[in-house]
Amino acid sequence: MSAPQTPHTFGASTTAAEVTDGVDLHGRRAVVTGASSGIGVETVRALAAAGADVTLAVRDTDAGAGVVARLEKELPPESGQLTVGRLDLADRSTVAEFVAAWQGPLHILVNNAGVMATPELTRTPDGREWQFGVNHLGHFALATGLRPALAAADGARVVSVSSIGHLFSPVVFDDLDYRFRPYDPWTSYGQSKTANALFAVGAAERWADDGITANALMPGNIADTSLARHMDMEQVAAFLASGELALPPGKTVEQGAATSVLLAASPTVEGVTGRYFEDCVQAKPVAQRAGAVAGVAPYALDRENAARLWAVSKALVN
């Protein structure tokens, strides 16, 4: 399916509020993971302002409650309702509890939470490498668990927040958990972000008959976010100096949330599925990482890679 052209006013500088201007989401229900800071908060704000009832799925429910209290003071009176649910993507039991507690249809699922460039090799309670376990497997378990609710919505959208960081590594199926190769925080992050894109490809193919669309995106280079809380900034500086890391122009959090909100709510992408977006448009393919500040690697949209990852992920979370 060819993607419709988004309006020329949608681009790198577009904000989430501009995307939902004129969009009515009353009667829709949404879940946004990692919604206690950064672009997660702005994603919630835009969806709720358009009328959606939004659940903030967060590890720290006190922080989530603080966000709800602040947004309720700032949002217009006709906005959707905000609630908080506990979700620790590293802890499979909390994912199962969140899924079990959900009742009724779910129209929008934004898999936004993530960790980035954890300096030391760390594992989740079930033994998975931390970034792959949190960024991909936790969201995989959540989305597949919520599939009946998504199917009941008759036209649900799943949004998978990836990153240009996927250019650092494809999914290394023979060593997902760094048990044989030396741990590297950047290839680990890259692998998890490639997995986020491949999840959208896999879900798009498997869930089409349920009326569910799934797309991935790069939000942009946003400084004001807790994503980098685990990063060694000296290591980042060295990496930048080496020329190994190229960064796109910076964005505000309001701009960073725009592509997530576009895929979650805009009628301009109705029916589009299995794609990777950035700056509110489909990304162009790139052939190599060197010098790239935009684009998507072919391996991140490869259907065979997506099918293999789906099978492996299903086995790991069951």
Which residue blocks in the chain are alpha helix, DSSP H?
A: 16-19, 38-49, 61-74, 92-101, 130-131, 139-145, 147-152, 185-206, 233-242, 253-256, 258-265, 303-317
Sequence length of the chain is 318
Contact 266, 18 (CB under 8 A): no
**Annotated catalytic residue, options 178, 183, 189, 276:** 189
Burial of 31 (0-12, 13-18, 19+ CB in 10 A): buried
If DSSP codes are grouped into helix, strand and coil, which group holds residue 225?
Answer: coil
Backbone φ and ψ of 56, nearest 5°: -85, 110
Residue 183 a catalytic site member? no
Residue 109: beta bridge partners? 31, 158
If DSSP codes are grouped into helix, strand and coil, which group holds residue 281?
Answer: strand
Query: Hey, which residues are catalytic here?
Result: 189
